[in-house]
């Protein structure tokens, strides 16, 4: 949206720039025409032979010349202002173009960052799935191993099978008892 807005502003500024250039060309054309008029008046003055008419014509020409000089000065002032405005518009256009490029670059960077985050999220989900599978496998193996330990522990002579679920501590105590009894039995065998 920012890029579109900036592009619209750029188009408006470029349109104003074209209009100002056209006005500048029109003013320059008027200046040339007025200069031509001045030259034509000067030529008329040279061609006049009658002194009185020449004097009257000189006064009228001088008046016209002053008027034209004033018009030329005004036109030059307008032209100068138009040039200043043109420079400002060109500067604004450059800034808008830079902002558009910057916005496009930021949009690309954000898109790349988003794609990287999605890629990382997919990798994490894959690792999580692998970890769950491994955990289920380990849990299953642990339960089988625990079941075998309980069977081996409580299936020895003199042991009573458990009536309720056995805790890990109870299994450990029963195994320790069996190990101790076997150690004692082994010691007795050695002594005999």
Is the pTM above the cut of 0.85? no
The confidence score (pLDDT) of residue 182 equals 84
Which residues does the chain have with pLDDT short of 50?
A: none
Q: Is residue 97 in some structural domain? A: yes
Q: Does the residue 79 lie in any domain?
A: yes
- pLDDT score, position 162: 62
Please tell me the predicted confidence (pLDDT) of residue 49: 60
Model pLDDT, residue 145: 83
The answer to whether residue 144 sits within a structural domain is: yes
The alpha carbon torsion through 174, 176, 180, 186 (nearest 10 deg) reads: 100
Residue 89 in any domain: the answer is: yes
Separation in Å, CA 148 to CA 162, 168, 169, 179:
14, 13, 16, 16
Q: Per the structure, how many domains does the chain have? A: 1
φ, ψ (nearest 5 deg) of residue 164: -120, 175
Q: Are 32 and 133 in contact (CB under 8 A)?
A: no
Q: According to the model, what pLDDT value does residue 6 have? A: 87
Place of tokens 């173009």: 97
| Residue 120 pLDDT | 94
pLDDT at 163: 61
Segments forming the whole domain that contains residue 134:
5-155
Domain-embedded: residue 165: no
> Is 134 inside a domain boundary?
yes
Distance CA 54, CA 143 (A): 128
């Amino acid at each position: 949206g920012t890029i579109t807005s900036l592009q619209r502003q750029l188009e408006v500024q470029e349109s104003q720039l074209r209009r100002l250039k056209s006005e500048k060309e029109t003013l320059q054309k008027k200046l040339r025409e007025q200069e031509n008029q001045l030259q034509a008046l000067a030529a008329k003055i040279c061609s006049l032979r009658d002194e009185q008419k020449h004097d009257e014509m000189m006064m009228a020409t001088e008046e016209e010349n002053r008027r034209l000089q004033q018009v030329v000065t005004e036109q030059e002032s307008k032209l100068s202002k138009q040039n200043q405005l043109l420079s400002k518009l060109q500067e604004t256009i450059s800034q808008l173009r830079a902002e558009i490029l910057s916005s496009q670059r930021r949009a690309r960077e954000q898109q790349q960052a988003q794609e990287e985050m999605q890629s990382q999220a997919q990798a994490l989900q894959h690792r999580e799935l692998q970890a769950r599978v491994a955990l289920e496998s380990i849990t299953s193996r642990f339960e089988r191993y625990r079941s075998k330990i309980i069977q081996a522990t409580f299936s020895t002579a003199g042991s009573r099978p458990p009536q309720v679920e056995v805790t890990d501590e109870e299994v450990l105590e029963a195994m320790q008892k069996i190990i101790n009894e076997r150690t004692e039995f082994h010691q007795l065998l050695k002594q005999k």
